[in-house]
Amino acid sequence: MKQSLIIDCDPGVDDATGLLTAFAAPALDLLAVTTVGGNVSAEKTARNARILRQIAGREDVPVFMGAERPLRRDPAGAGEFHGAEGLGDLEPFEPDAPVAEGTAAEAIVRLVMERPAGAVALAVMGPMTNLALAMRAEPGLAAHLGPVVVMGGARSEGGNITASAEFNIWADPDAAAEVFASGCRMIVMGLDVTHQVRATEERIAAIEALPTASARAAAAMLRFSQRVERQIVGWDAGPLHDPCTVAWLLRPELFALKPCRIAVETQSDLTRGHTAVEFRVEAAGANHFWATKADAAGVFALITERLGESA
């Protein structure tokens, strides 16, 4: 059976590879893409999601525009890692199909609540603002959701924005804190695991060799990230963050998870967005699961396979 899925994202070059992989996955019943301000502005992320949808030939999937700003903070961006327009070197254009009517939070509530409990998974590739707003609007949402697979947080690897905070959580820590406290089942792909999934030269070249439009777009994003990571961080092979959420949904055996309890720091300026990952919990009652290991070769093989059969 197909897994019904909503992708909540802020494209973003790594979001782009995740989206293109999901668009090409027959095992996923992609109900909607919802977008949020994050890597770039909300207007640009909604446009970028529609550009990627058009490249993939998946105009059947509605795109809903979401929150323009965090719950309580000023908007923050990451254009230095994603390009000013959010899609690296890809020249943006106005997509043929518009955004769908209604907000992202409204779409999440409707699409989840009109289906049986546990039927709809959510992949969150950006700040959790839309999901927090949806949970505020519908108190029963957390209990009705299927697995919520999040790219966010850091523990042993430290942060990529501050010493202890990863960007997606840091950008709206208040939203993340509410979602982690909601009781929904969450599988969390933090930097501890995404830093294991590296876009090596060989892996990028394998995607470049594919004949599809989606593969060409994904390869261009990976090349941009490779160049930026070398310039800013000094890594030869940059990590692939957001697509790990889609990879887990398609091939959960590629990841090792540990039950835990996660809380988010919202008060301290010094540690804003820090994810406190506590492993001393009863496994049977745990709602949070922290990814500790990834089969990087398997993740890239999966992405390459899907992009090779895409539009």
Alpha carbons 29 and 23: distance in angstroms, whole number: 9
Count of other CB atoms within 10 angstroms of residue 157: 17
Structure-block tokens of residue 203: 């892996």
Supply the pLDDT for residue 79: 63
Known catalytic residues are: 241
Structural contact between residues 195 and 229, judged by C-beta atoms closer than 8 angstroms: no
pTM above 0.75, yes or no: yes
* pLDDT score at 210: 98
Question: Is 83 exposed, middle or buried, given 0-12, 13-18 or 19+ CB atoms closer than 10 A?
Answer: buried
Domains and CATH numbers, the chain: 3-308 (3.90.245.10)
- Rounded CA separation 228/214 (Å): 21
Q: Which of 83, 17, 91 is nearest to 56 (CA)?
A: 17
Q: Tens-digit pLDDT profile for the chain (311 aa)? A: 899 999 999 998 999 999 999 999 999 999 999 999 998 999 999 999 999 999 999 999 999 999 999 999 988 876 677 788 889 988 899 999 999 999 999 999 999 999 999 999 999 999 999 999 999 999 999 999 999 999 999 999 999 999 999 999 999 999 999 999 999 999 999 999 999 999 999 999 999 999 999 999 999 999 998 988 888 887 888 999 999 999 999 999 999 999 999 999 999 999 999 999 999 999 999 999 999 999 999 999 999 999 999 87
Measure Cα distances from 247 to 28, 47, 298 in Å: 11, 24, 9
pLDDT at 294: 98
Measure the CA–CA gap between 135 and 166, rounded to whole angstroms. Answer: 23
